[in-house]
Chains A and B, each alone.
Chain A
Amino acid sequence: MLVKQLSVFLENKPGRLLAAIDKLAESGIDISALSLADTAEFGILRLIVDDPEKAKLVLAESGVVSRISDVIAVAMADTPGGAGAILKILSENGFNIEYMYACVGKVSGKALSLLRVERPADADELLRGKGFAKVNPAEIYRI
């Protein structure tokens, strides 16, 4: 399932992450998943939120640039080897995983993972063809 991810640019200054998170909280934006990529010079905060368009606007008002893009949400068995099964399929079919992170909660008893690949729609179709259940975005945003 493709879901909308919000990527937020964080300058390398103390308090930037907190400021962004605070801003979203003030506007009643709910975060279901979160990951932080960080380099020596800057960071990128990646979020799954209930209203990405509104979140983007809120951040822009406070001078923070962000970008909405597609990532794949996959529900996997919450047992050892659950993530491996998915990665194996993608790798065998030539999909390069740029990054991956997990959701804070579960949907229908399954662990949720978010994956970024080059051709998200194709990868999503592949996984669904292999029997990975469709995840309702509404469910994810509710977490």
Chain B
Amino acid sequence: MTIRHPEIECMPRKELTRLQDERLIAQVKRMYERVPCFRARMDEKGLKPEDVHGVGDLKKLPFSYKSDLRDWYPYGLFAEPMENVVRVHASSGTTGKRIVVGYTANDLDMWADCVARMLTGIGVTSQDFVQISFGYGLFTGGFGVHAGAEKIGATVIPMSSGNTALQIQTMIDFGATVLCCTPSYAMYLAEEVARLGVKDKLHLRIGVFGAEPWSEDMRRCIEAGLGIRAYDIYGLSEVLGPGVAVECAAQSGMHIHEDNFIPEIIDPETEEVLPLGAVGELVFTSLTKEAFPIIRYRTRDICSLIAEPCSCGRTHLRMRKPSGRSDDMMIIRGVNVFPSQIEEVLLKIKDGAITPNYQIVLDRVNHTDTFDINVEMSEDFFTDDVRSIEKMERRIVEALRETLGIGAKVHLVNPKSIIRSEGKAKRVIDNRAGKM
């Protein structure tokens, strides 16, 4: 398979470290001058930009957190004046407030290049037709992959998400050879393709899937169902969007673009940096981002880095699929959801009809996440009236959709019926493990 920038992607480790040293020093200096939140944290630790001489000093630097994006909402963490920011994206925060990230023209170019490296590495060329079924909009998925596919000269089919029948018809009519979407949606598409008996009308050969956890079993299933090779792409808007780490043709871990991002694995409790290969929380520092750079950003994703060199010849470290979270974030149909967001919605319904006692039940049916929320009604709310209960359920569903952007099924349940252990209710029951 081709390597887009061998001089960067296969750079000897020593040289790569030197490049990282240079870039880190410059980034820290720049952020210290321009980002008050970062400067305050450095000052707290008694650190000056001059104390940073390279990657070896990274562990001295302060961490940054998702809550920073909320505290400095919307643009307070940007290191460029808004006139240089050409795009913003947003995703869900831990509470009702969204988080906003920004990009300069250079940032967008770097992002596109990260995706382009992946596409090139897995054999996508200008001959290909890339159907992008990630959502377009404030979510980074659609636009992120889109720019990378354009960069390598492929023909982009910007489908966005939804409308499965039309997705399949488009794949057939437009001759899509590459499909990009969430893995669970790919599973669903594979099943629909089988049901319609149109597999032999497809031209697909490669799939790029990400934005939610998926297993090796799922990969085999998608590959067989759609007749493709399926590849994993990792990213988060706070760091970049899809393309922070990408699989190569070897399908064994995702290469992190280390010329742009430095990964660390830490113990989420003690915040100690763990040795290469250990399992812990993934932390990123962005070296080249201009509009919204981050130093030691706590992703809350639990995974490990792979020390061994890859058979593809790239020298950039690989990360394994994240195996979980160090916080309570759930990924439901590709959307990040925090229990605190649900609590906030329930607390806003202040007419005494319900209590903020709830339980989330996640499951997977037909490769799609089901999202049910049981909410305790108050003693006085129950009357003999069917309609008032249905009305309340609908009201909660609407309020949740406004905050989360996805639909949930809400069930009012008896007062005090949600089981509490040691006084604390178990908020999330996730039955999805092992189900495709």
List residues of A whose CB falls within 8 A of some B CB: 5, 7, 9, 11-12, 37, 39, 41-42, 44, 46, 63-67, 69, 116
Contact = CB atoms under 8 A, between A and B. Distances in A.
Contacts of B384: 5, 7, 44, 46, 67, 69, 116
Given A9-B382, A9-B414, 17 more contacts: A5-B384, A9-B377, A11-B411, A11-B413, A41-B390, A42-B412, A44-B386, A46-B384, A63-B414, A63-B416, A63-B417, A65-B377, A65-B382, A65-B414, A66-B382, A69-B384, A116-B384
B393 A41 contact: yes
Contacts of B389: 9, 42
Interface residues of B, number: 16
A7 B379 CA distance: 13
17 contacts: A7-B382, A9-B382, A9-B389, A11-B411, A11-B414, A39-B386, A39-B390, A41-B390, A42-B411, A46-B384, A63-B414, A63-B416, A65-B382, A65-B415, A66-B382, A67-B384, A69-B384
Interface of B: 377, 379, 382-384, 386, 389-390, 393, 411-417
Contacts of A44: 384, 386
Nearest to A41: B411
Nearest to A43: B386
B379 A65 contact: yes
A69 B383 CA distance: 9
Contacts of A116: 384
Nearest to B390: A39
**Chain A CB within 10 A, most for which of B386, B393, B412:** B386
A33 to B, nearest CB: 14
A42 B387 CA distance: 11
A66 B415 CA distance: 11
A42 B382 CA distance: 12
Contact of B383 (A39, A42, A67): A67
